Amino acid sequence: MEEISHLQSAQSKAIKSGDDEELAEISLRPLDLSDIDDFMVWASDEKVARFCTWDPYTSKEEGMNFIKNVVIPHPWFRAICLNNRPIGSISVLAFSGTNRCRGELGYALGSKYWGKGIATQAVKLVVGSIFREWPHLERLEALVVVENIGSQRVLEKAGFTREGVLRKYVVLKGRTRDIVMFSLLSTDQVSISTTSLHL
């Protein structure tokens, strides 16, 4: 909890004024069972699920099971909050063994909040802390469907490098898709955390 409070404080200092006032209210915190109603808003949205590996959730029970069995035991899963109310989620999946130097970033945001810089801000918050929380992590990567231009922009604005296209890499929603690989190294992270978050 101390780490989350530090993130919120650092993030608030990084925001200036005007249209960025809404971004000043963005924070990350653990997602809890009591957040189920907010969770269902984006988890049941077909627009949000379009480029995700999961299909839209159709019942609260399904959502509760996901939070209980996947989110709570997850090593790094956070709610993206606006005024402490969840509007999306962001996570880092840890690899093990010879791949332990890598982690995979994933996120989803309610479609109502697209195009406001919120996802980019959430990614920056993760970048500002994950390499300190997991000292063994040297590379944070994200895989994005080629057609998902919005998510690619999020990562580029957060300082990630577009490494290339992995052709016919995954079957998603019944179709084989090309995936764009993005990465950020722990050595890249310094300029982002100091200029954007002052961590």
- CATH H-level, domain 2-140+188-197: superfamily: Gcn5-related N-acetyltransferase (GNAT) (3.40.630.30)
CA distances from 64 to 34, 41, 46, 68 (A): 9, 13, 19, 6
Whole-model pTM above 0.85? no
Going 46 to 73 to 84 to 195, the CA torsion angle's sign is negative
pLDDT profile of the chain (199 residues), mean per 10: 41 44 83 97 94 93 97 97 96 95 97 95 95 95 96 96 97 94 86 36
Give me the pLDDT at residue 6, please: 41
CA distances from 33 to 36, 44, 76, 171 (A): 6, 16, 16, 31
Give me the pLDDT at residue 24, please: 72
Task: Give the contacts of 141 (CB within 8 A, at least 6 positions apart).
Answer: 102, 103, 104, 105, 181, 182, 183, 184
Residue boundaries of the structural domains of the chain: 2-140+188-197
172-193, pLDDT tens digit by residue?
999 999 999 999 999 995 444 4
Give me the pLDDT at residue 195, please: 33
Distance (Å, whole) CA 124 – CA 15: 12
Give me the pLDDT at residue 22, please: 64
Strand, helix or coil for residue 26: strand
